[in-house]
Each structure stands twice: as C-alpha cells, then as structure tokens.
C-alpha cells in the first residue's frame, strides 16, 4: 500500500510559529543592542580616564622616542591640567552605572571586532589589510591583527601597532577586502582611506606588501614597499634606510 501524503499544515499553526520566531529574534536583537550600548558607555569612560590616557601617552613615546619623545612633556602637562575634568560616559554627559550583562560569550561576538593577540609578542605588531592566505605567510615573522572594512578604524584607534600593512592581493575575490583597488569600488576605497587617515593621525607607518599592486594602490603614498616577510620583520621606520624593494614615490597620491 503506497504511503499517503502528509496533510498540509494548518496555515494558522504556521503563522503562529513564524510570529513566535520573529518575536524571539526581536528580543535577541534588543538584547544585543542593550549590550552594545552598555559596552560603548564603558569604553568611553575608560578611554576618558586619566590612567588610560597617561599609559597611552607614555607607551607611544616609548615606542617611537625620536618622533614622540619631544612631545611627551607637553602632552603630560596637558593631561595634568585636564585631570579634574569630568569623564562623560554617555551621550547626555552623565555617569551611568548601567546594567551588568553576565551572560557567557556568544559565537557571533567574534564578528564585532578583530580578535585580540594572545601570547608573547614576536616581531612587529602589524594591522593588516590582507588576502586570506597572506596572514599565515606573515605570522612567522610578525604579529598580525587582521582589519576589516567594518572595524578597521576601531582597531587603528585603540590597538598598540607598529605598522599598517596593505597586501597587494587583498582585493582578490572571496576575501573581506574583495575588489579593493578595482575602479568603481568606492566603498572599499573609502574604507582604506579611513584606515590610512587614522594611521597618519597616530604616526603609524603605512606599508604596501607584495608585488604587482593594482594601479589604484600603486599611485598612493607609502612609507615603504616590501615583498617578503623577512623585510617586514626587519623594517624599522626610525632608520634612515629600510629594507625596501622600492622607495616610496615622490609623486604618489596621499590620502
């Protein structure tokens, strides 16, 4: 006897199930927005604290004493004058204790920002606009912090970095920076522009890595052009001569 086809589900049951699913998704979204708002308030309070600012000023001076050492007394004096100014941890300028979110880490949290470094630092700390396979090639000679179009400015603003590196192959299809350097891909160009501007603001060297860069990358202004991991490991922006294959172009476009 042939199997009888299953009767179709009651439309009312299907609709109720979909409403329940939509309600759960809305609740999860509200919860995530609450957590994000609270984390933003706490981060703003931390970054505005005198302790954090003092540590960052001294660390920056120690990492590049030739460039930043002369500015250290002036920056510390300004910090001392501002030490009693109130810290605004929220948009209305008031302190807020806020709710505590003690729930365990979720798998999707990894999408919010690039992962932190673990273990001892070996070689320069590099923020990388990379093709998918380049990070593994460079990992033996430096510590890589991959940056993505959605979080690059956050990483450049807060991470302790030695170099911003742009891989000539980062625009290959399938990667997070797919079509970078391809004419007409204005969103990728704009994201790279924001990264370069943030790096210049912190005096972080900007390096092009690899061979045969796309024309849109080749015309930009670079502090160095490197083609091997060994050159990256030996790169020192404070030296007069660096192990570059090509000197930065004097006619390059600066963004």
Residues 218, 212: Cα–Cα separation, whole Å: 8
Residues 107, 32: Cα–Cα separation, whole Å: 13
Degrees to nearest 5, angle at CA 223 with 137 and 234: 45
Average pLDDT taken over every residue of the chain: 75
pLDDT tens-digit profile of 64-108?
Answer: 777 777 778 888 888 777 766 655 544 444 344 433 333 444 444
Q: Read off the pLDDT of each residue in 225-236 and give the average, rounded to a whole number.
A: 88
Q: Read off the pLDDT of each residue in 115-137 and give the average, rounded to a whole number.
A: 75
* Domain spans, the chain: 11-81, 121-234
pLDDT band at 222 (very low <50, low <70, confident <90, very high): very high
Q: Read off the pLDDT of each residue in 106-112 and give the average, rounded to a whole number.
A: 42
Beta bridge partners of 209: 167, 226
Contact between 199 and 226 (Cβ < 8 Å): no
Predicted pLDDT of residue 196: 94
Per-range mean pLDDT, top range of 114-123, 197-206, 241-250 = 197-206
pTM: 0.52
Q: Read off the pLDDT of each residue in 217-228 and give the average, rounded to a whole number.
A: 92
Domain 121-234: CATH superfamily is: Response regulator (3.40.50.2300)
């Amino acid at each position: 006897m042939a199997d009888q086809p299953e009767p179709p589900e009651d439309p009312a049951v299907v609709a109720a199930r979909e409403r329940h699913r939509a309600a759960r998704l809305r609740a999860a979204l509200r919860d995530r927005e609450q957590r994000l708002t609270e984390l933003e308030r706490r981060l703003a309070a931390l970054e505005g604290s005198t302790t954090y600012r003092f540590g960052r000023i001294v660390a920056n001076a120690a990492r590049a004493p030739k460039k930043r050492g002369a500015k250290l007394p002036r920056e510390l004096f300004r910090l001392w004058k501002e030490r009693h100014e109130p810290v605004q941890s929220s948009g209305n300028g008031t302190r807020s204790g806020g709710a505590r979110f003690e729930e365990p880490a979720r798998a999707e949290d990894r999408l919010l920002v690039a992962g932190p470094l673990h273990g001892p630092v070996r070689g320069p700390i590099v923020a990388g606009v990379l093709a998918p396979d380049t990070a593994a090639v460079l990992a033996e000679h430096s510590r890589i912090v991959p940056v993505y179009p959605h979080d690059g400015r956050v990483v450049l603003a807060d991470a302790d970095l030695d170099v911003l590196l742009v891989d000539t192959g980062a625009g290959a299809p399938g990667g997070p920076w797919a079509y970078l350097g391809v004419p007409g891909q204005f969103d990728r160009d704009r994201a790279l522009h924001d990264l370069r501007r943030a790096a210049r603001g912190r005096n972080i060297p900007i390096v092009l890595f690899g061979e045969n860069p796309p024309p849109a990358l080749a015309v930009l202004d670079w502090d160095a052009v490197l083609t091997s991991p060994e050159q990256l490991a030996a790169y020192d922006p404070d030296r007069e001569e660096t192990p570059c294959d090509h000197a930065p172009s004097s006619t390059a476009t600066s963004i």
